[in-house]
Chain A
Amino acid sequence: EVQLLESGGGFVQTGESLTLSCAASGFTFVSYAMNWVRQDPVKGLQWVAAVSGSGSRAYYADSVKGRFTISRDNSKKTLYLQMNNLRAEDTAIYYCAKDQFDYGDSVSFSPWGQGTLVTVSS
């Protein structure tokens, strides 16, 4: 069974940093791109970032580009999201999500972890 377990969320002040982790199991981790998707009550679901299976390519939403860094350690089967210069609008539940397919150009997410809450206070 595929399992994704996020950790690292918490309460921080504006401008501070936080690193999220996602421990994966139950599938060949290196074969799949991985993603972070966040959700807040106002803006709904928002894709944040993706990283290729090898870790050599990363993609970001414009709203986090230059502040967030996605990475992975395939030996530890763990995905990371380093978040710097956090803003109040980054407050959300952050989900780790596996690419549904290990091929093709289109991206979809399955499964998702249970999420970790990040609260940024000004």
Chain B
Amino acid sequence: SYELTQPPSESVSPGQTATITCSGDALPNQFLYWYQQKPGQAPVIVMSRDTERPSGIPERFSGSTSGTTGTLTITGVQAEDEADYYCQSADNTGTYPVVFGGGTKLTVL
């Protein structure tokens, strides 16, 4: 079955730039989405269709893709950005099944 691969953890100091990657063979052909999840809360979408920031998401969040790798970048990380981040997409067969990456725990030092 199709898989999206994320690093399990990333650490960054406040004010620095955090980059979280997601790798998948179908990413050249499928949109990539990113979700933020804080403890005890439901996931919230922070990046849509590779590079689109949904309404209400701070400008410090940006997305990009290159080949089979997508990246979520947080420029000027704040303490409140500490959370789990999940990427989501689909394989080359179509819209379903939807696939999530394993998640990356972002720690703000």
Contact = CB atoms under 8 A, between A and B. Distances in A.
A and B form one complex: yes
Interface of A: 35, 44-47, 50, 59, 61-62, 95, 100, 105-115
Contacts of B1: 62
A115 B42 contact: yes
The prevalent SS among residues of B at the interface is loop
Given A108-B33, A109-B45, 10 more contacts: A45-B103, A47-B98, A47-B99, A61-B97, A95-B43, A106-B31, A106-B49, A109-B33, A109-B88, A110-B54
11 contacts: A47-B97, A47-B98, A47-B99, A47-B100, A50-B96, A59-B96, A95-B42, A106-B49, A112-B42, A112-B44, A113-B42
B51 to A, nearest CB: 13
Given A47-B98, A110-B54, A100 B90 contact: no
Contact of A112 (B43, B54, B94, B100): B43
Contacts of A114: 41-42
Contacts, number: 66
Nearest to A95: B42
A108 B48 contact: yes
B14 interface: no
A10 B96 CA distance: 28
A66 B101 CA distance: 25
Interface string B84-109: 00101010001111111111000000
A47 B43 CA distance: 13
